[in-house]
């Protein structure tokens, strides 16, 4: 309840100015009577609060479910179990894996329904007898039920029976019953059933599962990339950890803690909001104007006073590598020449000693 109260208070403060602006923009308040003005505000303010804050709408619906569960029927408590999705970030990612590619899933599922509709038409025209079901009542009377009385009914039952088949035993029973009195028709029925299983069950449904699984993998890779970026790249300047470990005298951790501390920048922005505009210094006025314009170029992007980051192209780096290779080759040749000269001197000295 304390959490809900805080949300209500925050929402009220958030939309207070928006309510007044909306009311004055839509209606000429000076032309309204006092009681009409009160009624106008009382009717519009709750709606604006609900539309401005989705969390407030969520809590209102939760309270409504609790009330209906207490006063009407306990069934209304059941939807409250879904609150675990709101509380768990992991479950939210699971739902995102389904909804983020909703268009691909919808089109694939639509393709599944279109393919099943093709099989429905074939079954309705050529295998209508297989959709007729007989059962015996308690009085011993045989009742005939046509599961394919209309195209819509036939399609609905084909979807249900096709996706909820009872397995190999039921398939063999149907095939034995069919082959007894119509061998050629049984062969065609066997071909169509096998084609339905391969196309719909094996291929199309697995495509849907594959889309969901690929989305899980993409979300996992994205989260890993974000975590790696948070841990190894300075949020302020955007320089990676390896650069600091190679060029900084102390290292990356010292840089993000004392030189480019994220919370220092956030504190400075809050300071600009709290401080009066007439008390701004020159740099504060400059940064405030850029924040109003949505311009964040005042951040030291790829710049820091502790190291010098060279922005060079691949061609320049390749030229530097080639120059270093030439220098290494020349020095290697000089060393080899010195070694060869030293070896010759040693050989001559050893010959002189022998004589």
User: What pLDDT is recorded for position 47?
Assistant: 65
Q: How far apart are CA 44 and CA 94, in angstroms?
A: 37
Per-residue pLDDT band at 355 (split at 50, 70, 90): low
Q: Which residues contact 11 (CB under 8 A, 6 or more apart)?
A: 49, 52, 53, 55, 56
User: What's the mean pLDDT in 2-7?
Assistant: 47
For residue 6, pLDDT over 90 is answered with no
SS3 278: helix
Q: How far apart are CA 40 and CA 35, in angstroms?
A: 8
Residue 216 near residue 97, CB atoms below 8 Å: yes
Which of the residue ranges 21-35, 103-117, 118-132, 253-267 would you say has the lowest mean pLDDT? 21-35
What Å distances lie between residue 303 and 239, 252, 294, 338, CA to CA?
Answer: 8, 14, 20, 46
Query: How many angstroms separate the CA atoms of 231 and 245, rounded?
Result: 14
Buried b or exposed e, range 275-289, using 16+ CB within 10 angstroms: eeeeeeeeeeeebbe
Higher pLDDT, 202 or 324: 202
Neighbours of 143 (CB within 10 A): 9
Range 239-263 average pLDDT:
85
What per-residue confidence (pLDDT) applies to 71? 92
264 pLDDT above the threshold of 80: yes
Range in 20-29, 130-139, 189-198, 346-355 the model is least confident about: 20-29
Taking phi over 0 as left and psi of -120 to 50 as alpha, with beta for the rest, 308 belongs to beta
- The 10s digit of each residue's pLDDT in 77-86 is 998 898 898 8
Cα–Cα distance for residue pair 302/317, rounded to 1 Å: 18
Give the pLDDT confidence of 302-341 residue by residue, as tens digits: 888 777 655 545 566 577 777 878 888 888 888 888 878 7
pLDDT of 168 above 70 = no
Q: How confident is residue 25, by pLDDT bands cut at 50, 70 and 90?
A: very low
- Please report the pLDDT score of residue 174 as a whole number: 60
Residues 256 and 234 sit within 8 Å (Cβ to Cβ) = yes
Across the chain, mean pLDDT equals: 78
Q: Where are the domains of the chain?
A: 2-87, 102-225, 233-311, 315-347
Kindly list the distances between the CA atom of residue 126 and the CA atoms of 43, 171, 185, in Å, as whole numbers in the listed order: 62, 18, 9
The whole-angstrom separation of Cα 329 and Cα 340 is: 16
Of 38 and 283, the one with more pLDDT? 283
Q: What is the pLDDT of residue 8?
A: 43
């Amino acid at each position: 309840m304390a959490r809900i109260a805080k949300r209500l208070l925050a929402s009220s403060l958030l939309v207070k100015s928006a309510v007044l602006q909306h009311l004055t923009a839509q209606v000429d308040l000076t032309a309204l009577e006092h009681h009409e003005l009160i009624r106008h505000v009382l009717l519009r303010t709750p709606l604006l609060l609900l539309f401005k804050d989705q969390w407030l709408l969520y809590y209102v619906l939760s309270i409504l479910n609790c009330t209906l569960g207490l006063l009407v029927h306990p069934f209304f408590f059941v939807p409250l179990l879904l609150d675990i999705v709101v509380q768990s970030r992991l479950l939210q990612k699971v739902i995102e894996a389904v909804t983020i590619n909703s268009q691909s899933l919808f089109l694939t599922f639509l393709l599944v329904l279109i393919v099943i509709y093709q099989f429905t038409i074939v079954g309705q025209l050529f295998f209508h007898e297989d959709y007729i079901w007989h059962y015996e009542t308690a009085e011993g009377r045989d009742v005939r039920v046509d599961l394919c009385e209309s195209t819509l009914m036939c399609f609905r039952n084909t979807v249900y029976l096709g996706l909820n088949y009872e397995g190999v035993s039921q398939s063999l029973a149907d095939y034995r019953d069919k082959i007894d009195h119509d061998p050629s028709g049984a062969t065609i029925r066997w071909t169509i059933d096998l084609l339905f299983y391969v196309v719909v069950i094996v291929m199309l449904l697995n495509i849907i599962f594959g889309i969901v699984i690929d989305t899980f993998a993409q979300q996992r890779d994205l989260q890993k990339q974000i975590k790696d970026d948070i841990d190894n790249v300075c949020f302020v300047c955007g320089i990676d950890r390896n650069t600091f470990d190679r060029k900084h005298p102390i290292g990356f951790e010292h840089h993000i803690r004392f030189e480019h501390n994220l919370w220092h920048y956030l504190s400075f922005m809050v300071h600009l909001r709290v401080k009066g505009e007439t008390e701004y210094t020159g740099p504060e006025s400059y940064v405030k104007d850029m924040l109003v314009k949505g311009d964040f170029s005042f951040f030291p992007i790829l710049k820091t006073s502790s190291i010098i980051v060279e922005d060079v192209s691949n061609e320049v780096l390749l030229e530097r590598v080639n120059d270093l290779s030439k220098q290494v080759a020349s020095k290697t040749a000089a060393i080899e020449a010195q070694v060869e000269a030293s070896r010759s001197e040693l050989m001559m000295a050893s010959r002189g000693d022998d004589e």
